[in-house]
Amino acid sequence: MNAASAHAGPDPRRWKALAVTLVVGFMILLDVTIVAVALPSMQRDLGASPAEVQWVVSGYALTFALSLVLAGRLGDAIGRRRIFLVALSAFVLCSMAAGAAPTIELLVVARLAQGIAAGCLAPQNSALIQQLFTGAERGRAFGLFGATVGISSAVGPITGGVILALASGDEGWRWIFFVNVPIGVAALVLAARLLPHGRGSRRGSLDLVGVTTLGGGVFLVMLPLVQADSGGVQRLWWMFPAGALLLAAFALWERRIARRGGEPLLDPRLITETRGYAPGSALAAVYFVGFSGVWLVFALFFQNGLGFSPLMSGLCVTPFALGSAAAAVVAGRLVERLGRLLTVLGLVGVVLGLSAAALLLGFGTPPGAVWAAVPALLVGGIGSGFVISPNVTMTLKEVPVRMAGAAGGALQTGQRLGGAVGTAALPGLYYLVLASSGGDIAEAVAVALGAAVAGVAVALAIAVAEWRRDGRPATVRPCRPEVAHGHTHASHG
C-alpha cells in the first residue's frame, strides 16, 4: 500500500488479512508453551539429558526475543509483507525439521531457527494492524490481537496434552511440530493474496552497532533466565550486569545516531517524545512477569502436586483463557472510550482473581479448592483481557506508522524479557517454598501466586499514574507529524 492508496480509503481485505496474521500469531506464541508437556517423551525417545531437552523450550524463547526489534525495523524498511512471507516460509520449514529431527542436537538447532522465524513474524502483526486500521476499527483489531495472545499463552499445555493423547507411541511428540505445517502452508498462500504490497517507508543503512549491542544485551539478560531450570541464574549471574551495560551502550548509541539525523534501529524519540509509549512498554514488561510465570506454577501444582495429567492440568486453567479471550474482544470496542482506565480496571481484576486463587488453593482442600478457584481464575482472565490488547493499542497509538514495526518489536521484546523473568522466578520460588516447608504444595502455590500478584500490582501502579496523567493536557508531541492514526506521506510495506 503506497501513499496514494493510503488516501483512497481502507483496504477492503483488511479483516481477512488480519485473520491470517492472527492465525500465524497464535501458532508462533503457542509454540512457546506447547512443547513443555512433551519434554519427557522427547527425552526418552532421543536419549537426551534434562539440560539438553530444556533447550528445546529455552532456545526458542531466546532466539524469538533476540529477533524482534531487528525484524520490526526490517519490516518498516523493506516491507512488512515481504518479511512476513519469508519468515512464515522459514517457520514452516523449521517445524518440519524439528518434527523429523533424529537427534536432540538437530532438534535444538531447528528450534533455534524456528525461534528466529517467529521473532521475525511477531512485530509484523502489530505493525500491519496499525497500517491497515484506524480509529475504532484499530481498537477492535487490537482486541482480537490481545485475545490471540491471551488464548495462545493459556492453551499451550491443553493443546500439547491433546496432541500427545491422540498421537500414540514414543514419537507422538513429533506431531507437536508437524501440526504447524498444514496450518502454516495455508496461511502462507492466503497471506500472499491478502497482505498489502509495498516497498517499505525507508531504505537507510542498517544500524549494525545498534543491532550488535541490543542483541548482545538481550542475549546476556535472557540466557541465565531461560536456563534457570538447570541452574543458569546461579551459574551465569555475571551476565546480568554485562547485559545491562550493553543495553545502556545501545541507548547511548541510538541517541547519538538520532542526533546526527541517521536511522537508528530503535528511535529514542519513541521513548522521550511519543506519548504513552514508555509507560505502556514498562507496564507490559512488568505485567508479563506475573502473567507468564503463573502458567508454570499452575502446571507444577496440578501435575506434580496433585497428580493431574497434562490435559487435566490445562483444563483447570481454561477459565482464565476463556475470560481473557472474551474480554479482549470487548475491550477493543471500549478502549477508544475509556482509554487507560480500562487497563486500570483490568489490572484490578487480575489482582483480585489471582489473590483469590492463591487463598483458595493455599488454604483449601483439593479437589474442592480447585473447583472453588474456577470463578477466581475467570475473574482474573477477564481482567487480563482488559489489559493486554488495550495496552498495545494505547502504547502504539501515537507511534508513526513508519516506525510501527520497530516500536512493536521493542514492545514485544519487553514482554518476552518480562515473561522470561516470570517463568524463571515464580517456579523457582515455588520450589524454594516447597523445600523449606517440607513439601507443602499449598503453601508453595500460595506464595508463588502471591509474588505474581505483587508484579501485577506494580503494573497497576504504572497504569494508575498514566491514567491520571492522561487527564491532563499533553506536554509532549509525537516524534513525527504523520502519527499512526491516519495517513502518512510515506509508503508502507
151, three cell numbers: 488464548
Asked whether the beta carbons of 398 and 478 are under 8 A apart, the reply is yes
Core vs surface per residue 143-160: b (16+ CB within 10 A) or e? bbbbbbbbbbbbbbbbbb
In whole angstroms, how far apart are CA 426 and each of 35, 154, 299, 423?
A: 19, 16, 12, 6
Give percent above pLDDT 90 in the chain. Answer: 29
What's the pLDDT at 483? 43
The residue length of the chain stands at 493
- For the segment 433-465, what is each residue's pLDDT rounded down to a tens digit? 888 888 889 999 999 999 999 999 999 999 999
Question: For 11, which DSSP code?
Answer: -
CATH of 8-206+265-470, one of 3.40.50.10110, 1.20.1250.20, 1.10.530.10, 3.40.50.150: 1.20.1250.20
What's the pLDDT at 198? 67
- pLDDT higher for 225 or 122? 122
Q: Give the pLDDT band of residue 9 (cuts 50, 70, 90).
A: low
- For the segment 128-186, what is each residue's pLDDT rounded down to a tens digit? 888 888 877 887 888 788 778 777 766 777 787 788 778 776 788 899 999 999 999 99
Asked whether the beta carbons of 349 and 386 are under 8 A apart, the reply is yes
Instruction: Give me the helix-helix angle, 368-385 and 340-363, nearest 10°.
Output: 170
Q: Is the four-CA dihedral 285, 114, 90, 295 of positive or negative sign?
A: negative
List of residues 6+ apart from 364 with CB closer than 8 A: 372, 373, 442
250, three cell numbers: 545501545
What's the pLDDT at 229? 66
pLDDT for residue 490 is more than 80: no
What's the pLDDT at 329? 80
What's the pLDDT at 482? 43
What's the pLDDT at 113? 95
What's the pLDDT at 203? 53
Residue with cell string 541452574: 231
The chain-wide mean pLDDT, for the chain, equals 82
What's the pLDDT at 487? 38
List of residues 6+ apart from 407 with CB closer than 8 A: 72, 266, 270, 274, 277, 396, 399
Q: Poorest-confidence range of 95-99, 292-296, 448-452?
A: 292-296
DSSP string across 315-334: HHTHHHHHHHHHHHHHHHHH
Q: Poorest-confidence range of 60-74, 202-216, 238-252, 323-337?
A: 202-216
Question: In the chain, what are the domain boundaries?
Answer: 8-206+265-470, 207-264
- For the segment 337-380, what is each residue's pLDDT rounded down to a tens digit? 888 899 999 999 999 999 999 999 988 888 888 889 999 999 99
Q: Poorest-confidence range of 72-86, 259-273, 389-403?
A: 259-273
- Phi, psi (rounded to 5 degrees) for 366: -65, 155
